[in-house]
Amino acid sequence: MLRLSLLLLLLPYSTYSVLLGWVESPGYPMGYSPYASMNWSRCAPRGHTLSIRLIHLDLEETQNCENDAVKVFSNGSLVAVLCGKKEYKELQKTVNPPLLSSPGGCLTLLFHSDYSNTKRHTGFRGFYTVQDFDECQDDPNNECTQFCHNFIGGYHCSCRHGYYLAKNKHTCTVSCTEDLSGLKKGVISSPSWPGTYAENANCQYTLSVEEHLQLELHFSETFDVEQNNDSQCIDELTIETHPGTLGPFCGNKPPPSPLLTHSHHIQIRFMSDGFGSNKGFSLHFKTRGKVCRPVISNSIMTPQKPDYHRGQTVKVTCNVGYVANSGLLTQYETTCQSSGTWGPSYPCEIVDCGLPLIGDNSILQLVDSADQKTKYNDQIQFYCTSKYYKLEGNDTYTCNASGEWVSVDGKEGMPKCTEVCGMPEVDSSSSGRILGGKNAALGEIPWQLLIKEPKRGGATLINDQWAVTAAHVITGFEESTLKLFGGLVDGMSSSASVIYSEKIIIHPGYANNEEINFNNDIALIKFKSRVNLGPNLLPICLPESNRGLVENEQGTVSGWGATIENKRLKQSSRFLQYVHIPVMSLSSCRDTPTTSSNKKMIFTDNMFCAGETGKDSCPGDSGGPFVLPMLSSDEGPHYLIGIVSWGLPCKDRSYKGWYTKVENYIDWIQRTIEAEETQ
């Protein structure tokens, strides 16, 4: 009590009213009432702690203090739950010690009572005080590396003689940063050499001489910089030069002497942690003339030397697969300059072939690489986008030393994906016929296209962007408005693929004299965009230019033209029809009919005829395909041999029609398509 009174006398009223006082339950000491409660909270200033010392505790005793209780929180965390009756000594020994806040923290006290008590309880009373927190003694994380001094509300650090406080005001270090620029010789050593070097050292020594000179370092044999058991540096010495950083160095083995820096300006850095008893290092420095080193990587210098003097010229030859000066050179001459550099100097960089140009419907995949590596000796692999295309050429290519992609067998040119042609996925097992025939199944003739306007006719898909038809079907029609329909057998289907024309190219030899002359009756149609190939839309194969025709060879002709069942022969079929007919003899083909104007139709070597009694193409089939082998044959693929061209009206002819012989136009077709693709 005397100590408390003395403290009260020493503190002004305005101060101790904040720093200390009593806290007690409602109604103390007469006893608290049912449903009583209180919420008390105080906070300590910075560098101080707040504590509560209970001197009296008399509350209802219940299991887990469920009824009447006082709870104490430190910075929101529960530190004590109290009830029952405890003597003063027990309070001092077990209850009061944890009732303490952290430095600058707060204490909160909550009290509540329930509705009934079997006897009167006086409650509790305690004394709270704020006292200085001794960081130097009680806080192991005060961060002072040497001396710690406590004062009311905080602490400060100090250092031994020869050290000074770093900017963080906690770490003691030594002054070991020195600029020695201009000196051509001298000595540098770790702090306190040859004694134990200082902890927390961060030394930087700067050396700078004339540009044509280089600095040469000689280390003493005694070298002792701390490292761990795995030979990794704990403390370290590094030397920063213009070509690069040397080190870090540590352990008991000094760097090689003399150490040529190849630089006229260097910085020597030494750093240590807060522990250890190692000696450090010592070196003396001097200068010598600069030399050039064979530093151009991925190359060979001729003649080969460990270093070169000013004025010496060498030939730099880049390694295979590397080039210099943005790919313009594989070798060049360079001269050693007084500054220790080469001039001219071009780094030898690895050849980059870049991504190759690939055609449509091809996909480029890099072999064994998650990244797109296109450098020397990297490989790429090609494959096509779907089963309706096949890869022509090798599938694997390598980037060579000349910056070109070459196939594994050394062949030139890139592969390309071409359409799988003449191979329908639907088997043809029935013998339909255009003149009185049956309907074709969907996908049975996937290359057949329908033209509805200006004339009803057919066309044949030869790749995913081109079709071929008879010239007389589309003569005089505006190419930009021509529409074709594919992937269908029902001419009125709403699910057909609509293909828009971009260009119509009629054979230059077509005379447009349909009354007597259908020579060169062939035209190409280019689409605005590539069609999506599928089981119902596939191209036909083009024949070899010298295939030839065999008499009585069976082929298949198809179209949406007139049928005998229509009764009115001018009415076209709604559904796609096809029929198998034989190729007729050359003499039979020359026997051409006479027109209504008494003129003889002209037969040329660009035509052939085919048909038999009751089987033939009719009006509306013009431009459609005649294919070999016939569809019911197990042989494949199928080739476009002819284009339905001309003949008498079906009611006037009993067995044959004339067809454009496609094999005579293979060169024209290929040249025309290639010319369009290169534009």
Residue 68 annotated as lining a ligand binding site: yes
**Of 160, 157, 154, 162, whose CA–CA distance to 144 is shortest?**
157
Verify whether residue 622 is a known catalytic residue: yes
- Provide the 10 A C-beta neighbour count for residue 510: 19
Torsional sign, CA 169, 170, 174, 179: negative
Cα 492 to the chain's mean position, in Å? 48
Instruction: Provide the sign of the torsion angle of the four alpha carbons 78, 83, 88, 93, taken in this order.
Output: negative
Instruction: State yes or no: 154 annotated in a binding site.
Output: yes
Please provide residue 487's backbone torsions phi and psi, each rounded to the nearest 5 degrees.
70, 35
Q: Does the annotation place 135 within a ligand binding site?
A: yes
Is 307 designated active site?
no
- Is residue 194 reached through a cis peptide bond, with omega within 30 degrees of 0 on the bond before it? yes
In the block, tokens 């605005």 appear at 528
Q: What are phi and psi of 52, to 5 degrees?
A: -120, 130
Distance of alpha carbon 378 from the chain centroid: 18
- Taken in order 525, 528, 530, 533, the sign of the CA dihedral is negative
Residue 605 in marked binding region:
no
Dihedral, CA of residue 355, residue 356, residue 361 and residue 364, to nearest 10: -50
| 132 marked as part of a ligand binding site | yes
Annotated ligand binding at 134? The verdict is: no
CA distance between the termini of the chain: 109
Quick one: tokens of 454?
A: 């200006």
**667 annotated binding-site participant:** no
Residue 414 exposed, middle or buried by CB count within 10 Å (0-12, 13-18, 19+): middle
Are the C-beta atoms of residues 560 and 572 closer than 8 Å to each other?
yes
Per-residue buried b or exposed e for 527-562, using 16+ beta carbons within 10 Å of the residue's own CB = beeebebbebbbbbbbbeeeeebeeeebbbbbbbbb
Q: Is 116 annotated as a binding residue?
A: yes
Q: Are 612 and 433 in contact (CB under 8 A)?
A: no
Torsion of CA 473, 601, 606, 573, to 10 degrees: 40
Q: Give the DSSP H/E element, type plus range, for residue 672.
A: helix 666-677
Contact 381, 366 (CB under 8 A): yes
What is the CB neighbour count within 10 angstroms for residue 351? 22
Burial status of residue 339 (CB atoms within 10 A of its CB: 0-12, 13-18, 19 or more): middle
178 annotated to a ligand binding site: no
Q: Which of 472, 507, 580, 638 is an active site residue?
A: 472
SS3 label, residue 480: helix
Does the active-site annotation cover 521?
yes
Token reading at 243: 């070509």
Which of 224, 521, 616, 621 is catalytic? The answer is 521
Catalytic, out of 190, 622, 638, 645: 622
Residue 178 CA to residue 327 CA, distance in Å, equals 46
Closest alpha carbon to 454 in 485, 478, 486, 429: 478
Q: What is the largest CA-CA distance in the chain?
A: 150
- Burial per residue of 576-598, b for 16 or more beta-carbon CB atoms within 10 angstroms, e otherwise: bbbbbbbbbeeeebeebeeeeee
Residue list for the binding site for Ca(2+): 60, 68, 114, 116, 132, 135, 150, 154, 226, 235, 273
**Would you name the residues annotated as active-site residues?**
472, 521, 622
Residue list for the binding site: 60, 68, 114, 116, 132, 135, 150, 154, 226, 235, 273
